[in-house]
Amino acid sequence: MRVIGTAGHVDHGKSTLVHALTGIHPDRLKEEREREMTIDLGFAWLTLPNGESVGVVDVPGHRDFIENMLAGVGGIDAALFVVAADEGVMPQTREHLAILDLLQINSGVVALTKADLAESPEWLSLVSDEISQLLKNTALAGAPIVPVSARTGQGLDELRRALAACLAARPARPDIARPRLPIDRAFTIAGFGTVVTGTLMDGTLSLGDEVIILPGDHPARIRGLQTHKSKIDRAVPGSRVAVNLTGVQVSDLKRGDVLCYPNTLRPTELIDVQFRRLADADSPLKHNAEVKFFVGAAETVAAARVLSGEALPPGETGWLQLILKDPVVVAKGDRFILRRPSPGATIGGGVIVDPHPVRRHRRTDPATLARLETNLRGTPGEILLQAMNALGPGPLSEAVAKSNLDTATAAEAAAELLAGGDLICLDAKETPAAPLPVSTLVISRLTAHRLTQAVTDLLAAHHKAYPLKTGLPREELKSRLKLPPKVFNAFISWSVNRGTVGEAGTLLKLPAHEVKLTPDQQASADRLFTVFRRDPYNTPSPKDAAAMAGDDVLAVLVDRGNLVPASPDVFFLRETYEKMVAD
């Protein structure tokens, strides 16, 4: 599931183009329709020529609403960059392009709109050349330029094909088993209650999941999920999702809050970042300057501490520590934008390197700057976690060897991962104290999530195919998962303790699975019981009993203990068997 987002100058036809492509008008507010200008985020979807269904986020182009634009553009996979053929490159064309470049949205297609209003083919060629020059040395360098007209339909099919090709070259959004949904809208629907929308990142959400909305710490449960107005049971990373929640009121929520699983993320008010100052900025970024910070769908005011000098000149990249006025929920690697509060202007952006620094850093400190450079490339914990994800479940010693970390560093990294829940010990009933023995069987949270999903899917498929069987034989599941016996047994024990897998002797099942006879099957069983009670000591043979009730029903009755096999050829009712034993 992918999402594309519009970008471009006001009145260059973004919303009209989205309407022509999708049949859905993204301007949902009365004021937007009256003013014929997008003010807030709009949403639509379309099916591309290759059959892929993609979401569309339409953003405002007017300079007064750039900050609304930032709430929607951060979660997109590709940009639909719009330039009107009759006007060419304008101020917000440049600012929107700078934002896309700072957010490293490096896939997109340029729609040269209002092509029917161009003076001549030569004019279209001149505007196209101007756009190509503008895109050079940006994340959208080399993006295809497609002349279109929403009024006549010119170029729309070619634009759809270009979007499909652009997205086909993009990798799928990663699933790291830590779902988070930056909320860009929260509202109430009569009869359903609270609904939030956003672009899902980093994991899946399922019906019934217990979640929390941060930074307000509001617990909730997922009552319903929709993508493109279609009900779904599970939402995947990269999709536009509407989530119906119980247990929380709309008045508790705001744009920029993040929906996630409990104990996976935490708010922060202090962030270390690598920052790039725009080259066309009119002045350096001074130490402790007040800025507006935008990440995901959130925004807040911040003080920018320049760590690598007294100020950061235009065009330079350096290190900042941001002191936020309000808490936000972010992760390492998130891209962000900084704007000047007044007069409003985009001044630069970059990447979050540490969302939870333990203290304010000393400025121009070589050790601090060196540590930030190391964190940008990857901390020891991240390196060890990457090794664990590559290896799958197994002894900690294997992951340590693959990571090439020294023993002391690896022990510290393992303790960090254990404390954060990214490392799980499979052969310990309780969380062990650090340092972990290298013989400990471990699994990463991501691999545990994927294996749990695989086990759940296999058991669910078995229950659907064989509803009258208690579960799947343990050995068969081990064979399908292709895990070593020791690792398999440890993982299943861990799953049983967590309540995601149930045991019934040598069989494994979903905890909620119960064998239930249909009314017709129960009637067959009752008729068989009548025959057994008519002559309790001269009962039908197993073959005859199966002929009366069916093999599956007979197996259920034996599993339940309604019928007791005294020998391979003789069954008795339980009450008859117990009376015989008592006598």
Residue 540 main-chain phi, psi, to 5 deg = -60, 150
pLDDT surpassing 60 at residue 30:
no
pLDDT surpassing 70 at residue 258:
yes
Whole-number Å distance between alpha carbons of 179 and 453: 14
Residue 95's closest CA among 7, 196, 2? 7
The pLDDT confidence band at residue 39, using thresholds 50, 70 and 90, is very low
Weakest-pLDDT range from 13-27, 227-241, 362-376, 457-471: 13-27
CA separation (Å) from 316 to 146, 335, 557, 562?
Answer: 34, 17, 76, 79
Whole-number Å distance between alpha carbons of 109 and 384: 38
Whole-number Å distance between alpha carbons of 338 and 195: 29
Residue 52's closest CA among 169, 146, 224, 182? 169
- How confident is the model at residue 286, as a pLDDT? 92
Look up the pTM and report it.
0.71
The pLDDT confidence band at residue 73, using thresholds 50, 70 and 90, is low
- How confident is the model at residue 67, as a pLDDT? 60
Q: How many CB atoms lie within 10 A of CB 408?
A: 9
Asked if residues 304 and 322 have their Cβ atoms less than 8 Å apart, the reply is yes
Reading the block at residue 499, the tokens are 């309540």
What pLDDT, in 10s, does the model give residues 293-310?
A: 999 889 999 999 999 888
Helix (H) or strand (E) holding 538: none
pLDDT surpassing 70 at residue 427:
yes
What pLDDT, in 10s, does the model give residues 269-285?
A: 999 999 999 988 888 99
Averaged pLDDT for residues 377-387:
85
CA separation (Å) from 197 to 186, 211, 225, 241, 330?
Answer: 7, 14, 10, 6, 18
Reading the block at residue 433, the tokens are 């104290």
How much of the chain exceeds pLDDT 90, in percent?
35
**Average model confidence (pLDDT) across the chain:** 86
Residues 6+ apart with CB under 8 A from 77: 2, 3, 4, 107, 167, 170, 173, 238
- How confident is the model at residue 110, as a pLDDT? 92
Helix H, strand E, coil C: the string for 68-136 is HHHHHHCCCCEEEEEEECCCCCCHHHHHHHHHHHHCCCCCEEEEEECHHHCCCHHHHHHHHHHHHHHHC
What pLDDT, in 10s, does the model give residues 392-406?
A: 999 998 888 888 777
Q: How far apart are the first and last CA of the chain?
A: 68
The pLDDT confidence band at residue 150, using thresholds 50, 70 and 90, is confident
Helix (H, G, I), strand (E, B) or coil at 580: helix
Averaged pLDDT for residues 332-352:
89
The answer to whether the Cα torsion of 210, 214, 217, 220 is positive or negative is negative
Averaged pLDDT for residues 314-329:
95
